[in-house]
Amino acid sequence: MESRSVSMEGFFCTGTMVDYLKHHVVVVLVVAVGGGVTVELVVVIVLVVVVVVVGVVVTAAVALIVW
């Protein structure tokens, strides 16, 4: 029971982090479109954020398994 609770808590934290990052992606895209930034730059920013999100999720999963 305890391990399930910990997992849910970890997923909740990860979900919150993802929502936080998603919000920032929207802000960055709006600023980029408003500022006339190239599509290539936007794509690079999105890719970087995706890599960071995947890294956070994997790290959280490993931490939960080890802990």
The pLDDT assigned to 41 comes to 75
What is the rounded average pLDDT of the residues 10-14?
54
Number of domains in the chain: 1
The pLDDT assigned to 49 comes to 86
pLDDT band at 15, cuts 50/70/90? Answer: low
Structure tokens at 6: 């910990």
Q: Rounded CA gap, 38 and 50, in Å? A: 19
The 10s digit of each residue's pLDDT in 16-59 is: 666 766 766 777 667 666 666 677 777 788 888 888 888 888 89
For residue 38, the enclosing domain spans 2-66
The pLDDT assigned to 62 comes to 86
